[in-house]
Structure 1
């Protein structure tokens, strides 16, 4: 089919190339995306008004399509804020400290716990949680700081985030741009992420096991000394590394203080459960304070068990629905709504437990914090997605404000069709091209901003080479997130991992390069063969 390319096509193509070049220069691509949207609309319509309006319309259309993702992120983040307030977040991982007795066991436990927490809550809250509770234990057990950082980065920022199988932000972005079913992209991305992650973990263990040492308290002291210039003392060292049962600490009223004075009572600080009250030091006040302290600890322990069980039950429900007819099979939108609904109910229960009198206010505060975080984390995607949506016929009519019965231009598909004779009709070449484009897009450092690009290219190139666009979209998603999500790019969230592991972020990125790239190459070959 012959395609007549217009000036708008060439402007749109120039915009894509500029965005790719900007990514390679490690610059933010919002400005090129907005300018590309404006110029494409202006040249297509020959109207300055339409060009200017398209800047707003493109982000508005993207926001309509992606707001469900923002809302899920906000609800999950708000729930985690309420759990963190009572200390339940740390208690959820505390039991794993008991099995971290050596370098290899610590490596495996760090990998498993990081993966599970990141799969349900994203790596952003997982890294500080693991850093405060489990990293000191792993160091004391003989695992090297570099191996700690690599394990957390590969399993959290890489394997869990690239699949994003529970919250499904990434598959939703990729599938929307490619015009395919999000569930198909999510299923294939999960398999691909496991191939990359397990390959990278095996290579990491083989290369780092020679650095493992016999368990010793001196290892923890040596590691802690690296951060003395930051705060003058270790953080969560003694209590967390000991792995003992949390008990109330601090000075209770009536123990050494003059009668009638006021003292500070702190409970469960070594597991993140802190309750402070200033009380008069008489017997009734002391009893009330102690009751309040232990009630708070019990509540934290209850939620530490309740939250994992709730999401485990949800996973079981999804599996039953997927493989049987006992319950309905939830599709992408319904499953995502369930995640948000569970998070909202847990948020309400946790907020009410933390502050019964101010329940309504604290719940609203957590929700606001969640929305702020969601837009900080994902807001940059809107203008970028808007640019790629203007090349998609499903959205371009709305962006260009065309009449309701008028089909919008399919700029990207037209470009691909016009260039088919110059493109190799080979699934392997196309798959690796999408992978490389995704990795280049990841140089921006966010891990998500390139998904509209790889998704759009997958939707256009898939039929041309006889491949399912969902497979290509998942491959591009792997390249984008493994690169920019926090394993290969030092200016991404890998900085947080390196900070908690107390290693150089540049060294950590270099150490991750061979394991991760090996996994990506193997994943691409396997994906072409089996999907």
Structure 2
């Protein structure tokens, strides 16, 4: 595993260090990422032209890889905008209020539902499902948007995906590279994932509980108004007139502007003011068609959960029976987006029969604007980490399509493992660290072949079961790159539905997750 490090490797490593320091200082990392991309490409190729073009190519490659996340955020946001115009959004979540009445019950229900759906079907369809149905209920019950995002990320992208116990793609990759039984890796990964997730959830519960508020319908309105006032707008210079498009530390909150929450504002849309909420019914004249409108709203409030429930049943039938074919790849996410689009069309036609075509288009555009306004800055950041992955480096560096790109990030990780002392604890934490670093590209499973191979090679030397080391490396790689503590990953989707800045969400998740990873690694060495 001897690796020859070049100047490009050291420049890339310096870029990672600068980005991590910048994140620790709570500053925006777009500029360091772009500069690091330029310098890495320049040093690797020796061409100023390649260096300059890599800035554009990196964001373009990242956009191609992440656009499915942007698109599903846009579709579901557009659907919710149309449902809100009907007043169906509040009716839809009403049944959950019987259980999710306060912060603690909402926290537990949100965690359990997210984990179960993600465990069986991966987090890709789970996040839109939870985002469309349960997030508004949790917000109304008093949970802060940041708490909601943390719970979903920890239980879905973290706890469920890191074990991947049902679908078993991740354990299969790790075991194949380590030369061990996939079931042995899966069993140990399940236990470790529960330790990491349980620790992270416990820390999140006690650290975030002070931010929870008394349940109230007004919390939903306030949450919607915050999103409409500008996702990612700097709190140091709030502007009541709307988003400024500048870099962010968090969304502007109405109470920070000295104003009461605006009622009847559509979340994430530019469509001025929609139908007033029923809570404010005494302040406007009730239209003659109000009974008909309420009936339509009730119909859609039942239709949307039933549609997604039918989707879950279909997934289960495909998974456990031969009645229907199982879904593959990104088909599950595509179906979620398709359902959202059809519901959007039907809701828009019901609320605005004459201008149905224009209203539908407006909602779709507003959804796309919201998705890019909230998550657009992630693209150049992801582009920098993609340049270290051989699967993406070639198009970023302008190499021919049949040329292999440099494995800059993996080379750095491989070089580190050669200097690990022959000790069970040191080796285990070294594998964990390598998994964390390999996950910095935000692509999820990309580092599993590396951590698996290292586990198979190092396990016998330190008298540790290679399956245990492979499970530890799997924890580091997926909790990092799977979308919990890395902002340029599928954490984008979680932040989009919770409507919080993705960098803030990543920072908040970092300490709880790292505490869980350390505890789980110690447990693995002592018990397994």
**Cα distance in 1, alignment partners of residues 452 and 15 from structure 2:** 22
Name the residue aligned to 2:345: 348
Which residue of 260, 263, 278 corresponds with 1:269?
Answer: 278
CA, structure 1 residues 371+470, in 2 after alignment: closer, same or farther (shift >3 Å)? farther
Structure 1 or 2, whichever has the larger Rg, is 1
Name the residue aligned to 2:151: 155
**Cα distance in 2, alignment partners of residues 10 and 48 from structure 1:** 18
Which residue of 464, 472, 478 corresponds with 2:454?
Answer: 464
Name the residue aligned to 1:257: none
Alpha-carbon deviations, 1:391-410, whole Å to 9, x = none? Answer: 12122111111223322212
Alpha-carbon deviations, 1:251-291, whole Å to 9, x = none? Answer: xxxxxxxxxxxxxxx99713x8999668xxxxxxxxxx44x
Q: How does 1:56-205 map to 2 (within 5 A)?
A: 56-98=56-98, 107-109=104-106, 111-112=108-109, 116=113, 119-120=127-128, 129-131=137-139, 133-135=140-142, 152=148, 155-156=151-152, 158-160=154-156, 162=158, 198=198
What secondary structure sits across from 2:8 in the alignment? helix
1:381 offset after TM fit, Å? 2.1
TM-score, structure 1 as length reference: 0.64
CA, structure 1 residues 202+379, in 2 after alignment: closer, same or farther (shift >3 Å)? closer
TM-score, structure 2 as length reference: 0.64
CA, structure 1 residues 352+208, in 2 after alignment: closer, same or farther (shift >3 Å)? closer
**Contact 2:413 / 2:437 at 8 angstroms: preserved in 1?**
no
Name the residue aligned to 1:500: none
Name the residue aligned to 1:17: 17
1:363 offset after TM fit, Å? 0.8
What secondary structure sits across from 2:442 in the alignment? helix
**Cα distance in 2, alignment partners of residues 80 and 356 from structure 1:** 18
**Cα distance in 2, alignment partners of residues 514 and 49 from structure 1:** 41
Name the residue aligned to 1:473: 477
Q: How does 1:402-421 map to 2 (within 5 A)?
A: 402-421=399-418
1:88 offset after TM fit, Å? 1.6
Q: How does 1:269-288 map to 2 (within 5 A)?
A: 269-270=278-279
Which residue of 308, 317, 320 corresponds with 1:320?
Answer: 317
What 5-or-longer segments of structure 1 have no aligned partner?
A: 136-144, 221-226, 237-265, 279-288, 442-449, 486-491, 498-504
CA, structure 1 residues 373+529, in 2 after alignment: closer, same or farther (shift >3 Å)? farther
**Contact 2:443 / 2:481 at 8 angstroms: preserved in 1?**
no
**Contact 1:195 / 1:523 at 8 angstroms: preserved in 2?**
yes
**Contact 1:396 / 1:409 at 8 angstroms: preserved in 2?**
yes
Q: How does 1:435-446 map to 2 (within 5 A)?
A: none
**Contact 1:33 / 1:384 at 8 angstroms: preserved in 2?**
yes
Q: CA RMSD in A?
A: 5.2
**Cα distance in 1, alignment partners of residues 259 and 308 from structure 2:** 37
**Cα distance in 1, alignment partners of residues 137 and 515 from structure 2:** 29
Q: Pick which of 421-430 and 74-83 moved more.
A: 421-430
CA, structure 1 residues 51+228, in 2 after alignment: closer, same or farther (shift >3 Å)? closer
1:9 offset after TM fit, Å? 1.5
1:162 offset after TM fit, Å? 4.7
**Contact 2:91 / 2:298 at 8 angstroms: preserved in 1?**
yes
Which residue of 360, 368, 377 corresponds with 2:374?
Answer: 377
1:483 offset after TM fit, Å? 8.8
Equivalenced residues, count: 426
